[in-house]
Amino acid sequence: MSFASSASGWFDEAGNLVEPAVAAALLANRRVAWVVADQALRITSVVDAGGLLGATWNWPGAALLDVLPELVGSERELAAVLAGRPDPLHIDFLELADCDARSVYVRLTVAAGNAEAARALFCIFEDMTDLGISRQRLTQSRNELLLAQRSLADTILDLQASNAELRRLTDMKSVFVSVAAHELRTPLAVISSYADLLAQGLVGELNDRQLQSLGIIREGAERLLRITANLLDMARIEAGRLELVLQVLDAGALVASVVEEQRPFFEQASQDLSLAVEPSLPLALIDEVRATQIVVNLLSNACKYTPGGGAIRVTLSRLADCRELLLTVSDTGVGIAPEDQPQIGSWLFRAKSANEISAKGVGLGLYITRSLVELHGGRFWFDSTAGAGSVFHVTFLAADAEGEN
């Protein structure tokens, strides 16, 4: 509801006369007040039923610009309004102290009209404290947001710097690892081949004790060669320089040939090794050397982490959607404790169970295996029960699935 005044009283929107007492109550309730100023900008009367304007000033008789210094500088505008400019002058969120000395925000509207037969300025004050407080809170939140944004930007910069430093250190580590591994490989290869010559009796006959010692030397040299080869692969993977030569191949034949090659190690450990390849499998998209490495790694782990008398089962089948071939290597070995499982496959990690049986290893094989599988576009995962055995799963893309999707 709005209402207007005239010389003869107060009227509502429908033009009905409103009781002056009712009008005063409405004004007080809505916290509306006004003052009238003459052409010399001196206040001639004040209506403030709700106590909006406070008691600091003795308003009647005071100079308008003293009471409302916010209007200083707007004298030309005030003169224009007085002279009949139709647009009133508005100032929002003007801060005043009310009659209880509380801070209030008001909207000031300055319009002109006739009072006591002379042109006068009407300064109307409407309480907008709630809005003012919301606006203040909004400004505060905006400032807090700006601060948070600035600190986020600083954190991002710090993170980028740390990232760059980390990248630099990782690159340095990769370079160091590959240089060291390269340098170690030549003397190791020399040790290994001379040990072979000695073992074959090509530089003179050796007795049994000498041959036994030589066997230990050869084994150690071969193990070191395998470690250096793994370190080189790791450095290549980390630098993104390990590239596959993918071919369309019979994965069943590849797995079967690796199983037969590795069989002597299982026989030596009195383990039962079996293979089941599903008939009529599609060809797979694989790098022959790297896929062989994947199968060898899984088989040698199964052999290493399974006690004598255990069983290792290798299967190759097709997954239901025919897009992938699934290789599984299961064993009845030491298994992996649940708390170690999340870290299996991260580099240099070895599970407690591996240390418990003093199995040799450095924790690089599965990191490389997993990376090689992923480079093939396949997936790697495992299930394991401590003390009961593990099943490692690897998928390869079927060649005829290429280009689908």
Residue facing ligand ADP at closest CB distance: 361
Residue that has been written with the tokens 């992996």 in this structure: 336
Contact between 273 and ligand ADP per CB under 6 A: no
- 299 by Cβ neighbours in 10 Å (0-12 / 13-18 / 19+) ranks as buried
Contact between 362 and ligand ADP per CB under 6 A: yes
Contact between 310 and ligand ADP per CB under 6 A: no
Stretch that binds ligand ADP, among 64-72, 76-84, 205-213, 332-340 (CB under 6 A): 332-340
**In the bound complex, what is the minimum distance in angstroms from residue 330's beta carbon to ligand ADP?**
9
Contacts of 366 (CB under 8 A, 6+ apart): 297, 301, 344, 345
Contact between 334 and ligand ADP per CB under 6 A: yes
CA distances from 13 to 1, 16, 48, 188 (A): 7, 7, 22, 104
- Binds ligand ADP (CB under 6 A): choice among 351, 372, 373, 399: 351
**In the bound complex, what is the minimum distance in angstroms from residue 269's beta carbon to ligand ADP?**
13
State how far the Cα of 207 lies from the Cα of 60, in Å rounded to an integer: 127
Contact between 301 and ligand ADP per CB under 6 A: yes
- 21 by Cβ neighbours in 10 Å (0-12 / 13-18 / 19+) ranks as exposed
* Extended beta strands in 56-132, E state: 89-97, 103-115, 118-127
**In the bound complex, what is the minimum distance in angstroms from residue 368's beta carbon to ligand ADP?**
8
Contact between 364 and ligand ADP per CB under 6 A: yes
Stretch that binds ligand ADP, among 57-65, 101-109, 186-194, 350-358 (CB under 6 A): 350-358
| Assigned token pair, 46 | 């004040």
Torsion angle in degrees (nearest 10) through CA of 251, 257, 261, 267: 90
Q: How many residues bind ligand ADP (CB under 6 A)?
A: 21
State how far the Cα of 366 lies from the Cα of 390, in Å rounded to an integer: 14
Contact between 313 and ligand ADP per CB under 6 A: no
Contact between 331 and ligand ADP per CB under 6 A: yes
Binding positions for ligand ADP, rule: CB under 6 A: 301-302, 305, 331, 333-336, 344, 350-351, 353-354, 361-367, 390
